[in-house]
Amino acid sequence: MEDNRRNFIKKGASLAAVLSMGGLGACTGTGPNTTGKDDSTQSAKQGAVSQAQWPIDEGADTPKLCIGISSNASEDEMRRVKQIGVDHVLMGGGKMPWTESKLRATLDRFKKNGLTVINMMIGGFPNAIYGREGRDEEIKNLQDSLVAAGAAGLPVVEYNFYADRLMEGYYKKDARGGATWTAFNYEGVQNLPPKPEIGKHTAEELWDNLTYFLKAVIPVAEKAGVRMALHPNDPPVPVSHGSDQIMATLADWKRLIEIVDSPSNGITFDCGVTREIGEDPVAVCRYFGSRDRINHSHYRNVIVDTPRLKYSEVFLDEGQVNMFEVMKELIRLKYNRGLFPEHPRGLDNDIGKHVNGYPGGGGYTALTYNIGFAHAMKLAVLSAQGEKS
């Protein structure tokens, strides 16, 4: 009770200080003139608190909010995307090899509905990942797809290089108000046996395969004007079904961009995964962003119990990642590619509807919350800077 009383007195004193300094008048521009000076002079001083003009023109050099959508999305689905203030989308690109005509038809269909396809995920090269016979054919299909992407005007192609993804470690966890989080725990799944169709692969073997892959595809991507974004391993565990995971530490991500030195050889910067591995998201963002190697970005929050091994994916406003500082760093770097506020949490209004495929995941309602939060963070940074980007 005494603590509450002290807090009340402290808050009351703070409010009194604000009022005594004309704090409310400075915000509204309507405070009383107690200086005896010309009203316009006082108004100018009060108005100096806010320099940004509203609505804020975000300009070309800010992150582009985007969400995932099917390449076959209906016009109704596209309209729902536009309704929440999103102008950019990402999607899977389908089976390789991609063709210019098919890509252009997809991009044009979305453009007609006010949406720009900013990123497509590509896959279908397991032999390249595992170093098996047939990898050169897969790589040729990927090279042809990159050429087609460049010709069609697709700026970013995202991909994974998992030996295996340990999905068995995910589970649903209760959150505020009966909502749900997605949580992960390595304990109990760390010793699962290798899958027969995959086998067991060492880190050294996988690095050799990734090096072979990058040296074949990155020069083609660069010539085509396409950036590739490798998503880090998530979950970022050391071993999955007996195979080492080579995109699961900051050292791994740094090594990746050094294999082929090109803006086309970049990462998907995920501030959530960055915290999962025990790193500072702002510092990591600065490292890769200052080198122009962030080719796509995911925006989400987590609470980590044990780095890499045990954590929960939570609402954007309640985790350990300072989402405002991450946004501020992206804007400082003039990052202007995709920003996906992904992994929406489970809300009652989404029950029985489309979810994101993870235990505790949500659908359109929760995604709308993520978009609103991310947009607010972006406008807050721009407003605080008092500039029109």
Tens of pLDDT, residue by residue over 339-374, are 999 999 999 999 876 566 678 888 999 999 999 999
pLDDT for the residue numbered 132: 98
- Do 226 and 149 meet the contact criterion of CB atoms below 8 Å apart? yes
* Single-letter code of the amino acid located at 180: T
* 97 pLDDT higher than 50: yes
So what's the pLDDT on residue 63?
Answer: 97
pLDDT at 10 over 60: no
Domain boundaries, the chain: 1-49, 53-385
Q: Which residues pair with 302 in a beta bridge?
A: 313
Give CA separation, 261 vs 152, 206, 248, 287, in Å: 25, 19, 20, 15
Query: Which of 32-46, 64-78, 167-181, 222-236 is predicted least confidently?
Result: 32-46
pLDDT of amino acid 355? 63
Q: For 28-42, 112-126, 180-194, 207-221, which range has the lowest pLDDT when averaged over its residues? A: 28-42
DSSP-assigned letter for residue 359? T
What's the CA gap between 308 and 205, in Å, rounded? 22
The span from the CA of 255 to the CA of 140, in Å, is 24
pLDDT exceeds 60 at position 29: no
Lowest-confidence segment of 202-206, 278-282, 360-364 by average pLDDT: 360-364
Cis ω for the linkage preceding 235 (within 30 of 0): yes
Q: How would residue 4 be classed by pLDDT, with cut points 50, 70 and 90?
A: very low
Q: How confident is the model at residue 53 (pLDDT cuts 50, 70, 90)?
A: confident
Enumerate helices (H) and strands (E) in the chain, giving the number of each.
13, 14
Nearest partner of 90 among 111, 109, 66, 107, judged by Cα: 66
* Dihedral over Cα of 364, 370, 374, 379: its sign: positive
Q: Would you state the structure tokens that stand for residue 318, as one six-digit string?
A: 């309640």
Please determine, for residue 22, whether its predicted confidence score (pLDDT) is greater than 60: no
The per-residue pLDDT for range 209-241, each reduced to its tens digit, is: 999 999 999 999 999 999 999 999 999 999 999
Q: Give the number of other CB atoms < 10 A from CB of residue 359.
A: 16
**Model pTM?**
0.86
Least confident span in 36-40, 108-112, 303-307: 36-40
**CATH 3.60.15.10, applies to 53-385:** no
